[in-house]
Amino acid sequence: MGRGKIPIKRIENQTTRQVTFSKRRAGLLKKTHELSVLCDAQIGLIIFSTTGKMCQYCTEGYRRQKVSGTCIPEHDNREHLYNELAVLRKETRRLQLSMRRYTGEDMSSIPFEELDQLEHELERSVIKVRERKV
Amino acid sequence: MGRGKIPIKRIENQTTRQVTFSKRRAGLLKKTHELSVLCDAQIGLIIFSTTGKMCQYCTEGYRRQKVSGTCIPEHDNREHLYNELAVLRKETRRLQLSMRRYTGEDMSSIPFEELDQLEHELERSVIKVRERKV
DNA sequence: GCGCCTATATATAAGAG
DNA sequence: TCTCTTATATATAGGCG
């Protein structure tokens, strides 16, 4: 769809990825809305970008699915749970980005100024590994 | 999209509605998958037809997040929340260990047999950084 | 209902300003 | 970056079996 065809795999260029995200998210929200109206269906859609931004669509009567098999403490408040989820999600995202940085998986998103520093960090890690080996 | 244009309002003919539902649901699932892969986004989608049938799509690492200050939906169930917390905690833990491994922070916990592999991984990362620098 | 088909409507990738 | 454009790629309405 568009001037060229693109393979369905993670878009490496960060700028392109962001642009595509915005466009396709808008498209997805529109299609979601259309399906719910045309076919009178209940739909819930929630999207998180890599930057952690969230957006969602849900119809009035939308109900989430029930999962069984987990033990739940009697007393607890959901607000607390939601907060914990938010914190954990943020931390997970941070760790994912750090890992990508270290494995060189998403080199394109790293500013040139930071490359030297990253190189040194990696070299230090290599040295530590070698020390451990002897 | 199709032989004719249809207005976005509930399709009255039940047969047509059902057909359109099936077709558009498939399209929506596809687009959802594409967005999640292309843009590395976490997405949850759940669809209920009028006949009560349910189908859903969600990415591996999909986590719902509630930003503080946002109202919490009535129909949320704690069981589901606890499941999500459990999965998220596990993932965070896994990432933390990976990071420690890469930074050499906790070298003592790495078995000797894995040191060679780690060393190579790090060297590859260094090479990627140097390639990026030129 | 489900596939498959085909003309048409939409979505969107890549440019341009 | 952001908006607008436009050539292409996709989605899908309406049919048929």
Q: What is the pLDDT of residue A20?
A: 92
Residue of B57, B66, B71 to mutate, interface with A, max A Cβ within 10 Å:
B66
Q: What is the pLDDT of residue B25?
A: 92
Residues lining strand D at under 7 Å (Cβ) are A 1-5, 15, 18, 31; B 1-4, 6, 16, 19-20, 23-24, 26-28, 30-31, 34
Taken as a whole, chain A contains a residue count of: 134
Q: H or E segment at A100?
A: helix A78-103
Binary contact (A11, B39; C-beta < 8 A): yes
Structural contact between residues B36 and B60, judged by C-beta atoms closer than 8 angstroms: no
Smallest CA–CA separation between B58 and chain A, in Å?
9
Does position B83 have pLDDT exceeding 90, yes or no? no
Find the mean pLDDT for residues A81-97.
Answer: 73
Q: Which residue has the higher pLDDT, A68 or A37?
A: A37
DSSP A13: S
Virtual torsion, Cα B25, B27, B29, B33, nearest 10 deg: -170
Is A16 near strand C, with its CB below 7 A from some atom of it? yes
Instruction: Give chain B positions within 8 Å (CB) of A33.
Output: 8
CA B133 distance to own-chain centroid: 32
Q: What is the pLDDT of residue B20?
A: 92
Does position B32 have pLDDT exceeding 80, yes or no? yes
Residue of A11, A79, A89, A124 to mutate, interface with B, max B Cβ within 10 Å:
A89
The SS3 of residue A44 is strand
Protein footprint on strand D: which nucleotides are under 7 Å from a CB? 1, 6-14
Q: What is the pLDDT of residue A109?
A: 64
DSSP A58-89: E-TT--PPP-------SS--HHHHHHHHHHHH
Q: What is the pLDDT of residue B24?
A: 92
Q: Which residue has the tokens 């509630």?
A: B66
Which tens digits make up the pLDDT trace of B42-66?
Answer: 888 888 777 767 777 877 555 443 3
Q: What is the pLDDT of residue A11?
A: 87
3-state secondary structure B79-124: HHHHHHHHHHHHHHHHHHHHHHHHHCCCHHHCCHHHHHHHHHHHHH
Binary contact (A107, B85; C-beta < 8 A): no
CA distances from B101 to A115, B37, B94, B120 (A): 20, 27, 11, 13
Separation of B133 CA and C4 C1' (Å): 52
Highest mean pLDDT among A73-82, B64-73, B80-89: B80-89
At A83, list the tokens. Answer: 């907060």
Instruction: Give chain B positions within 8 Å (CB) of A17.
Output: 38-40
The SS3 of residue B46 is strand
Separation of B38 CA and C17 C1' (Å): 28
